[in-house]
Amino acid sequence: MKFTVEKENENVYKLDITIPAKDAARAYDEAVKRIAQYVNVDGFRRGKAPRAVVERQVGTERIKHEAMDAIMPKAIAEAVKENNLDVITQPYITKFDFTVGQDLTAEVKVETRPEVVLGEYKDLEVEVESAKVADDAFDKAMQNILNQYATQELVVDRPAKDTDIAVIDFEGTVNGEKIQGGDAKNYPLDLAHSNFIPGFAEQIAGKNIGDEFDINVTFPEEYHDEKLKGQPAVFKIKLNEIKERKVPELNDEFAQKVGPFKTVDDLKADIQKYLDNQKENTNRVNSENAVFAKVIDAASVEIPQSMIDREAESLTNDYKQRLQAQGLSWESLEKTQGAASLTDTIKEDAKVRIKNSLVIDKIAKTENIKLEPQDLQKKFAQLEAAYGMSQADLMKQLGKNPEVFASLSQQALNDKVRDFLMEKNSVKFIEPKKEKVETK
């Protein structure tokens, strides 16, 4: 095999590869045999049809492509290795000349990893604002626990309050037409925490059991259904029941009910521990992000447009799938944000992701940071816990989706590099900046 390498631009190389006629002919013959195994040819047992018959049946071009699929990957790999090319994407054949009995020639394009110039990434001192815990965080946490154990009692002697749960029948219309999915029977609506259209729950407060009335509201301009955006709607309501939330008394008996606590003080101590851990975790994440951001800012790399376009396409596909899962459409998002603006945002996100990945890989290579079996095992354990899967089932799924395995490996490497950066740099926590109070 012979090959020549030519640099076309900053990170694209052209490989001219020549496969000797003897090797190309052997690959062609083996391709004929493989194809004959699964092609039905009248008058011959499967796999026994002569070469000429198989050629007439499937065509020589298909056989040539089958042969090249077998012979070219090894040839390309040798050329890449010989020239120490750090290939970042799948090489692709741009043209070839394959005549059986003659040398096979092919032109292959490969894209290499852009050169990353690291700035200072060790012995840095980074200032990070200490996580702020709201003054009422403890009280809110305690109230949330009490609310979880609250009971609901029927009310028959007064109108609904804005803190009640109203059990209603409703049916909505816009311009006299029924709203699809805009009706229900005996729907329990928490008036204090309603996620209905603004103004809906407020108009139920003050009504009595058995009342039938109309509610007039307007759908928000950012509503996900194009037909309903900004449209005035009328909902016919019947109030069937009123329920009052009864919060339990905070005492030792309650503490024993909610967990392994003997007293209220034990419960309070556990809440405080949770808030302290939450603050500690926030500080840890913020510290990692601040150190990493400083390292990224200090590094420089010229990212080829082709890489940006591919990553942007991948991001776009991810966004579309997420929107679809939420019952939203990409087209509606383009109308809301503007197609050009949305494209620009995605491309900027793509640049950030690419640079982050390239810098991580560069640091890993420079510092000889390598993945060990236990690093991947840690990631596997996290997936097993998150999805309730056995290790055997997880490995089976990963076998079917090699791209997921590659993603997990990259995540595990990211974690190791971040741990390295935290070991080699120091963080100084400072008091959070006071929020400015606007005055009119």
Report in angstroms the alpha-carbon separations of 130 from 127, 137, 263, 317.
9, 16, 32, 37
Mean pLDDT of the chain: 89
Question: Greater confidence, 440 or 405?
Answer: 405
Q: What angle do CA 77, 355, 110 make, to 5 degrees?
A: 20
List beta partners, residue 154: 243
- Is residue 440 very low, low, confident or very high in pLDDT (cuts 50, 70, 90)? very low
Q: Confidence class of residue 138 from pLDDT cuts 50, 70 and 90?
A: very high
Average pLDDT over residues 300-308: 88
Q: How many Cα atoms sit within 13 Å of 123 on the Cβ side?
A: 2
Composition of the chain by helix, strand, coil, percent to 5: 50, 20, 30
Confidence of residue 47 (pLDDT cuts 50, 70, 90): low
Strand partners, 109: 14, 92
Domain with CATH 3.30.70.1050 in the chain: 2-112
CA distance 265 to 310: 56
Return all residues near 181 (Cβ < 8 A) that are at least 6 apart.
none
- pTM for this entry: 0.69
Q: State the number of CA atoms in the 13 A half-sphere of 151 facing the CB.
A: 5
Q: How far apart are CA 118 and CA 13, in angstroms?
A: 24
Residue whose pair of structure tokens reads 């290499």 in the numeric block: 112
Q: Which one has a higher pLDDT value, 209 or 410?
A: 209
Residue 7: phi and psi, rounded to 5, are -80, 120
The 8-class DSSP code of residue 158 comes to S
Q: What is the tally of helices (H) and strands (E) in the chain?
A: 12, 13
Q: Where in the chain is the domain with CATH 3.10.50.40?
A: 151-246
Biggest alpha carbon–alpha carbon distance for the chain: 98
pLDDT for 337 beyond 70:
yes
SS3 15: strand
User: Into which CATH architecture does domain 151-246 fall?
Assistant: Roll (3.10)
Element (H, E) at 44: none
User: Who wins on pLDDT, 225 or 249?
Assistant: 249
pLDDT level of residue 287 (50, 70, 90 thresholds): very high
CATH topology of domain 2-112: Alpha-Beta Plaits (3.30.70)
Per-residue pLDDT band at 334 (split at 50, 70, 90): confident
Lowest mean pLDDT among 26-30, 127-131, 339-343: 339-343
Average pLDDT of 14-39? Answer: 89
Is pLDDT at 383 greater than 70 in this prediction?
yes
Q: Which tens digit of pLDDT belongs to each residue from 236-274? A: 999 999 999 999 999 999 999 999 999 999 999 999 999
| DSSP annotation of 89 | S
What CA–CA distance (Å, rounded) separates 153 from 181? 29
Strand, helix or coil at 170? strand
Residue 305's pLDDT band (boundaries 50, 70, 90)? confident
More reliable by pLDDT, 274 or 379:
274
Asked if pLDDT for residue 438 goes beyond 70, the answer is no
- Determine the Cα–Cα distance for residues 160 and 219; give it in Å rounded to an integer: 24
Residues with Cβ within 8 Å of 81's Cβ and at least 6 positions away in sequence, in order, are: none
In three-state secondary structure terms, 378 is helix
Cα first-last separation, the chain: 79
Domain with CATH 1.10.3120.10 in the chain: 264-430
Lookup: tokens for 66? 């089958």
Choice between 199 and 57, residue whose per-residue pLDDT is larger: 199
- Read off the tokens for 89: 């994407």
CATH class of the domain whose range is 264-430: mainly alpha
Helix (H) or strand (E) holding 335: helix 330-337
pLDDT bracket for residue 435 (50, 70, 90): low
Beta carbons of 330 and 320 less than 8 angstroms apart: yes
Q: Tell me if residue 299 falls in helix, strand or coil.
A: coil
Length of the chain: 440
pLDDT at 49: 76
Q: Within 13 A of 25's CA, how many CA atoms are on the CB side?
A: 7
CA–CA–CA angle 393, 381, 370 (5° rounding): 110
